[in-house]
Amino acid sequence: MTMNTRLFTAALLVGSGMASVAGAADFQHRFYGGLGLGISQLEPETKNTGFEVDDKQDLGGKVYLGMDFARRWSAEIYYGDLGAAALDNPNKDTQGDIDYALFGLAALYHFYNNRGTDGLMRRAGWDWFAKAGVGSLDNSSDLPFKKQKGTHVMLGLGTEYGWDNGFAIRLEGETFDQDVQFVSVGLLKRFGGDHTSARTAPPTPVAPPPVAAEPPEPPPVPVPAPMPVVPESTPMIGDADSDGVNDEDDACPDTLPGSEVNEQGCDVFSGVLEGVQFESGSARLTTQSQEVLQGVALELLQHPDVRVAVMAHTDNSGAAKANLALSKQRAISVVRYLMSLGVAVKRMRPVAYGESRPRASNATPEGRLANRRVEFQRIE
């Protein structure tokens, strides 16, 4: 691979990673640090020098600090001491070493995880990545030599296995220009964020208001007659929540006093927001969902006294902790979008339930679709 090709590949990978920062709002950034030990293959240019490379391999090590800034992207700085290549000049009976040390900045693209989106979000399980970087290359030797350049372009491929406590083992192979290759195994630790995806309990759901007791039935009125007769009383049809819909026809018998209700007696600001969906495995609203929420925002702006809980739910696909974290991100995503349309943040409260409150069976695709939903609940 030529130098120009290496530079283009590294620039493309690093540039793509930086462009992903803008779309990483729903990802919990984490810092990490690690070290690796391995074997280096060192092949300095000896043409027309009289020297031969006597020993191309040596033990090397490196340390690195990095940050996971998006679901598929990380960036790290690294320093490596890759050992030395042994040289020999049989004509002059001269031996010596050339040492290799390097420092640089790299971008990592995580292209596969055996746990899917959950694994990528938490860097857990088996995770495969490609990397590219640029940096400085320093050589020192007890032999007279000429340094051709002080920079390097790095390309690499590796895999990690991460645990929920933030520790991970890493195996990777890297090439630095044409004369240095390094294969290493190492240990790293991630800090910050939430490695178990979500440990925060969902907010306490809003308790429904107490149901007012029905008024007592009035006593029968005696009718004057030769013989006193007590007439049969007609049962009074109640309206416990005083919403104007009789209890026998009221599908939502415990709406808050003063709530605007539909023909079924249900609060128009409570219930499932039909048509609000997200891109698979993320909290990004689809274009259709944004159109639905634009109509919701208009209704909220016309009723400035209404406050709502924005409750997000998922189906049971994947780990329960990951689903809880995803529902939290989706509830916040809806609140942020409504804020961008002029709805005051103090009027909304995001609530996450994950897979804990299904409204249909998760055994069928239809049921799982029904369980992936966002609901409103009017609050006082």
Residue 295 placed within a domain:
yes
Same domain, 179 and 42: yes
Number of domains within the chain: 2
CATH of the domain at 175: 2.40.160.20
Same domain, 277 and 128: no
Model-wide pTM > 0.75: no
**How would you class 348 by CB atoms within 10 Å of its CB: exposed for 0-12, middle for 13-18, buried for 19 or more?**
buried
Tokens of 146: 């000429």
Is 336 in a helix, a strand, or coil? helix
DSSP characters over 276-327: --B-TTS-PBPHHHHHHHHHHHHHHHH-TT-EEEEEEE--SSS-HHHHHHHH
Residue 356 placed within a domain:
yes
Bridge partners (DSSP) listed for residue 95: 88
Which pLDDT does position 23 carry in this prediction?
Answer: 43
Is 373 in a helix, a strand, or coil? strand
pLDDT, averaged in runs of 10, over the chain (380 residues): 54 51 58 96 79 86 94 94 85 81 95 86 91 90 70 93 93 88 96 53 50 59 57 56 70 69 69 85 89 91 92 91 93 94 93 93 90 89
Which pLDDT does position 113 carry in this prediction?
Answer: 92
Structural domain range at position 51: 30-141+149-191
Which pLDDT does position 197 carry in this prediction?
Answer: 43
Is 196 in a helix, a strand, or coil? coil
Q: What is the 3-state secondary structure (H, E, C) of 84-98?
A: EEEEEECCCCEEEEE
Which pLDDT does position 192 carry in this prediction?
Answer: 73
